[in-house]
Structure 1
Amino acid sequence: MTIKSPLLSRPGAVEAGGADSGVASHYGEPLREQRALAAGTAVVDLSHRGVVTVTGPDRLSWLNTLSSQQVTNLAPGESSELLLLSIQGRIEFDARVIDDGATTWLIVEAAEAAPLAEWLNRMKFMLRVEIADVSDRWAVLGTTRRVEEWSGLKVWEDPWPHVGAGGYSYSVVAEASHPGLERPWFEYLVPADELEATVGERPLAGAWAAEALRVAAWRPRLGAETDDKTIPHELDLLRTAVHLAKGCYKGQETVARVHNLGHPPRRLVFLQLDGSQHTLPAAGSEVRLGERKVGNVTSVVQHYEMGPIALAVIKRSVAPDEILTVVDGDEPYTAAQEVIVAPDAGQVVGRQTGFLKGTHR
């Protein structure tokens, strides 16, 4: 059941739909809200996020054996990201991770909290861990800067787009030039009954603003850029959510095989859409090369500076210089692509030359 945020009572609030149901899409001025959020003067109500806690002395070593990330020695206050994969290496859960020395906090999409808690409980065996879905007791607030007055709150800092320890970049863009650097991102955990008091009189931006900055930063989102076949390589998630040198976990064989010997079958791409129609295609619209379908739009937004932009997942074989068309019903939108995941990503064993000159750690 969707829990409605009390901040929906603020003037001008228009509730979002889909994955962001329960919080405001905007408060009447979405483009102004984007500017304020980018400048660090506004905060975003993300109280619909799911929150799962893991306690007990074995919590970090246990999560380490289950996930794609090295978290055994995660220090209190340090932020990370982990994936839980199927045996075929497909993404099942994507969690933002912080630990406070006694509890590991997993921040997930709204619909993922209950399934994640259930899945983790099935994996407990005889280990000293306890799992709880505490989504009804905790809310999340998003910002693009640290808030000094909230220094006592737990905060997750998005590692994107930095290449973490054991990670690898599939982007053709050097980390120092990555657009994600323009979007530092923090998610604060707030007791649900203190949400309104914590926000106080600070300007609010809606989920639409947060999505616009996310898409511009090339940051993939579970449930938007993913489907039941997605592997981490396709979304450049090896840079923040996968440690390539850690021990065995479910899905590791696929991760290693594709990275070392193969290529991901699809790749994430950024699209600059023709804005002359003054409309936006829907997420899920086909991406075509000529008359041939080569993928689908996964997220689409109106950005306050760039106009209509989107993320899409397309076939690896599509050349990076091709002009694509997004088709929503009978409405075509010309789309210029910017490469996020290189067409020749993967196959790093024996790599000598190629389009990809990725960073690895």
Structure 2
Amino acid sequence: MASQVGKKILRQTKNVTKGYSEIQVKVREATSNDSNCPSNQLLMEIAQASNSQIQLQEILEILDKRINDKGKNWRHVFKALSLLEYLLYNGSEYVISYAHDNIYIIRTLKEFQYIDDRGRDYGANIRQKSREIYELLSNESKLIEMRISKNNRYDNIYSYGFDSDDGASTTNERTNYDTNLQIAIELSEKEAQIEKLKREANKKNENLIETDKNEEPTTTPGNLLSFDEIPVTNNPFSFDNNFTNTAANEYLRQQQMQQQQQEQLRQQMFQQQMFQQQQQQQQEQLRQQMLQQQMLQQQMQQEKMRQEQLRQEQLRQQQQQQQQQQNSESMFGSSFDGGAPAKNFIHEVIINNKNN
């Protein structure tokens, strides 16, 4: 408990010092290294935020870091895969595109391994979850059905012993989780022993073949270790086990109902997609029309401004011409008044010449 509190405080400190956004803080909490599972309310908030392009980028940024984590932080990887699966069902359609673009990472996680000093393989849950997501992405019709269904939600995704919706596990849930985890660890150890026996037997077979290749075999395949007879216990987290898991039984029942309604649900989804496409086309047409109207208004405004500038220029030119004309008339009138005596003198000279 103290360890989890310390991790929570450290995580909160990083949230502040590294400047994570509000939605990134929620994603970090949902994919933390704690043994507790995220609450249903937290997952719903993240799924709702994925419909925003900006917040979706912030969500995927943290999710990508968590999925690519390794080693002792295997819980980061498992919780990130679980959150990704939840978003595939409930989040934005762009999450599906992200998952398809990174499907090679999910395929690689099918071989995830983390074995501690005691030989316990903690990667079993991750391998199982990555296989489920890979199969889901490879089956588009199933993914469509699961997105339409309103019943396949939190319990079916976090079916590996996580907490209830409010984030606090009851005593029975925690006991079941610890029991299942212990069984998984024991099975992982058994699988490791079986693999070791297989390698030893194969090596023994190779040595026998090399030594006795020219001799009559003294043993038959039945004398050697037959691995077909080695019982391999099923994954305790699959729904074929004998665990009394209510969520698993409900999941099987829902799957049977969904198979019966498969064609009908697919048609409904296609109709919804067609309707959405039509709406998007109409919105795009309306946007184009509004853009054209705005451009036309801008052109009209520019033309109006140009006409006003032209009118002002013409008025200025007219004023200049009037001013020049007035200046010219003023100068001409002054010259005429000053030349009157000379004109009278000439007139008198002409009269005198006529008299003589």
Same-fold call, TM cutoff 0.5: no
Higher helix fraction (1 or 2): 2
TM score, norm. by length of structure 1 = 0.24
TM score, norm. by length of structure 2 = 0.24
Structure with higher RCO (Cα < 8 A, 6+ apart): 1
Higher strand fraction (1 or 2): 1
Q: Which has the larger radius of gyration?
A: 2
